[in-house]
């Protein structure tokens, strides 16, 4: 390759990679001909090319790759549900905040025995309560949940739903009643990680899995709230992206908004 040709390549923005013997010889010749300035120009061009290639690749990955805690049957399902507002925020709570919330709900839960089945048949081995009085510290945490999950001014249920699933407990596929719950469900996971599995009511081939790590917050909104059933998998079925997610006793603390007249029913 002539030095002239290499100059043309560089001036056109082509990346010159010295990977054949001929190219190495030509590169050396070019350095001699252009001296230090030419060498630095070439180096900058190579670095710039590599940087741009890296940025483009990272951009592509950002567009096409699901967040680590979300898996879906297709890019279409992933895009649609994410655009509709489904999300998982790992590490939303600190260890101290998790302990604080668990301590505060424990006395009420301990008064009950685990029930085998919910009145609607959806929940197995559970205890539950609704709580509206919270300590100052936990009120701050719950306000953070509300500020994160609900737009300002959206009327919310003052009662917070606390659901305690035994290690053997699970929640079967269901859609929360539109009579009692508005467009958004926001849940904190305490004590154990779990997998929430969503399946389209229209097409059972369309699904999404959410990895609900201990101390994470999940938000269900849009099609994930109204068009997909959700369930919490039992320990034997608790896998995320092929990885076993062991289920222990799990407490969820769930905030909801009130149904609005415009909500789909
Ligand atoms: O425990 C959870 O986070 C899910 C609860 C749930 O499915 C529900 O209350 O509808």
Q: What would the pLDDT profile of 133-163 be if each residue is shown by its tens digit?
A: 999 999 999 999 999 999 888 899 999 999 9
Same domain, 17 and 134: no
Ligand 1 proximal residues by C-beta, below 6 Å:
163, 171, 176, 187, 230, 232, 252, 254
CATH number assigned to the domain comprising residue 186: 2.60.120.590
* pLDDT tens, residue by residue, 204-241: 999 999 999 999 999 999 999 999 999 999 999 999 99
Q: Is 183 found in the same domain as 117?
A: yes
pLDDT given for residue 152 in this prediction: 86
Q: Is the domain of 37 the same as that of 83?
A: no
Atom 8 of ligand 1: nearest residue by CA position: 176
Q: Indicate the pTM of the whole model.
A: 0.76
* Pocket mutation for ligand 1, best pick of 92, 122, 187 (most atoms within 8 Å of C-beta): 187
Please check whether residues 80 and 28 belong to one and the same domain: no
Domain that holds residue 107: 70-256
Residue 144: which H helix or E strand, with range?
helix 136-149
Asked if the structure places residue 113 within a domain, the reply is yes
pLDDT tens digits along 85-106:
999 999 999 999 999 999 999 9
Do the domain assignments include residue 263? no
Q: Which residue has its alpha carbon closest to ligand 1 atom 10?
A: 176
Query: What is the number of structural domains in the chain?
Result: 2
Contact 209, 67 (CB under 8 A): no
C-alpha closest to that of 241 among 200, 210, 203: 210
In a domain, 261, yes or no: no
């Amino acid at each position: 390759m002539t030095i002239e040709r290499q100059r043309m390549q560089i001036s056109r923005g082509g990346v010159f990679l010295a990977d054949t013997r001929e190219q190495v010889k030509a590169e050396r010749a070019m350095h001699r001909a252009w001296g230090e300035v030419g060498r630095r120009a070439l180096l900058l061009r190579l670095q710039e090319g590599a940087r741009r290639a890296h940025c483009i690749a990272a951009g592509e990955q950002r567009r096409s790759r699901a967040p680590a805690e979300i898996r879906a049957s297709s890019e279409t399902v992933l895009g649609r549900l994410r655009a509709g507002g489904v999300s998982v925020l790992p590490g939303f709570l600190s260890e101290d905040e998790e302990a604080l919330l668990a301590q505060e709900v424990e006395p009420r839960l301990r008064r009950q025995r685990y029930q085998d089945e919910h009145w609607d048949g959806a929940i197995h081995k559970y205890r539950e309560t609704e709580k509206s009085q919270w300590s100052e510290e936990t009120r701050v945490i719950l306000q953070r949940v509300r500020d994160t999950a609900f737009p300002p001014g959206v009327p919310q249920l003052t009662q917070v739903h606390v659901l305690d699933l035994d290690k053997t407990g699970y929640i079967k596929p269901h859609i929360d009643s539109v009579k009692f719950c508005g467009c958004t469900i926001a849940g904190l996971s305490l004590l154990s990680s779990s997998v929430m599995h969503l399946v389209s009511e229209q097409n059972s081939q369309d699904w999404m899995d959410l990895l609900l790590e201990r101390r994470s917050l999940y938000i269900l909104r849009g099609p994930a709230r109204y068009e997909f059933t959700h369930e919490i998998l039992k320990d034997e079925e608790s896998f995320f992206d092929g990885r076993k997610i062991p289920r222990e006793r799990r407490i969820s603390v769930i905030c909801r908004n009130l149904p609005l007249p415009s909500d789909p029913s």
